[in-house]
């Protein structure tokens, strides 16, 4: 019985990204051998998070309340909206940029092969925000993948129906990068989006 439960624990830990059989075994043994209090706290926090964390009704980010702390902050510029693919992308923008507008979190990207269409990304909610006539600039910050570009194009078309100006975050050579190591697609994009000095 105990071996079956241990196997179940190791298998459950494998749901985390990047955790394979050996990593899950190390984690399970560590929790059981050295940190049972930590394991109990982890289990309780996960259970509480699953119970209490939902999505913001305005931006779809993770939130314990109906409206997240960013959407509820009246010091943010509600006329600028940045569209990102995930809460992790939103956090990256918050930590790295001096952006003071609001967000819309897609929770994915258009991928017809995976059955992810406009409905799954909440684009009906985004459309209703466009229709409310309160957005003066839409910033598209989807990832520079084929699906991310298709998603950005789709959302851009949606915004243009309401005459909302759309901008796209720049993609190109990373700061501190050397041209000889940059892939040709990134270098090509950097050349086409070059800035006048």
Q: Mind listing the pLDDT tens digit for each residue in 26-85?
A: 999 999 999 999 999 999 999 999 999 999 999 999 999 999 999 999 999 999 999 999
pLDDT at 1: 45
* Per-chain mean pLDDT for the chain: 91
Helices (H), the chain: 2-13, 21-33, 36-52, 87-96, 123-131, 146-160, 184-192
Q: How many CA atoms lie within 13 A of 58 on its CB side?
A: 15
CB 13 within 8 A of CB 24: yes
The domain locations on the chain are: 2-52, 75-168
The fold of the 2-52 domain, in CATH, is: Helicase, Ruva Protein; domain 3 (1.10.8)
- The pLDDT tens digits for 86-109 are 999 999 999 987 899 999 999 999
3.40.50.450, 3.20.20.70, 3.40.1360.10, 3.40.50.2300: CATH of 75-168: 3.40.1360.10
pLDDT more than 70, % of the chain:
96
> Confidence band (pLDDT; 50, 70, 90) for 182?
confident
pLDDT at 10: 95
Q: What share of the chain is helix, strand, coil (3-state, %, to 5)?
A: 45, 15, 40
pTM for the model stands at 0.84
Can you tell me the distance from the alpha carbon of 25 to that of 30, in angstroms, rounded to the nearest whole number?
Answer: 8
Mean pLDDT of 122-133: 92
């Amino acid at each position: 019985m105990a071996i079956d439960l241990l196997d179940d624990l190791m298998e459950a830990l494998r749901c985390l990204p990047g955790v394979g059989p050996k990593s899950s075994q190390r984690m399970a043994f560590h929790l059981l051998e050295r940190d049972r209090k930590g394991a109990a706290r982890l289990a309780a926090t996960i259970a509480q998070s699953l119970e209490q964390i939902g999505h913001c009704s305005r931006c779809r980010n993770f939130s314990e309340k109906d409206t997240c702390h960013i959407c509820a902050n009246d010091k943010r510029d509600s006329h600028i909206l940045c569209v990102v693919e995930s809460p992790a992308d939103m956090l990256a923008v918050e930590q790295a940029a001096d952006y003071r507008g609001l967000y819309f979190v897609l929770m994915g990207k258009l991928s017809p092969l995976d059955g992810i269409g406009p409905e799954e990304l909440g684009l009906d909610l985004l459309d209703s925000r466009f229709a409310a006539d309160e957005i003066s600039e839409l910033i598209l910050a989807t990832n520079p993948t084929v699906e991310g570009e298709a998603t950005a194009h789709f959302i851009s078309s949606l915004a243009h129906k309401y005459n909302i100006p759309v901008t796209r975050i720049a993609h190109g050579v990373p700061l501190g990068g050397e041209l000889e190591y940059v892939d040709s697609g990134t270098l090509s994009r950097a050349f086409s989006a070059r800035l006048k000095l």
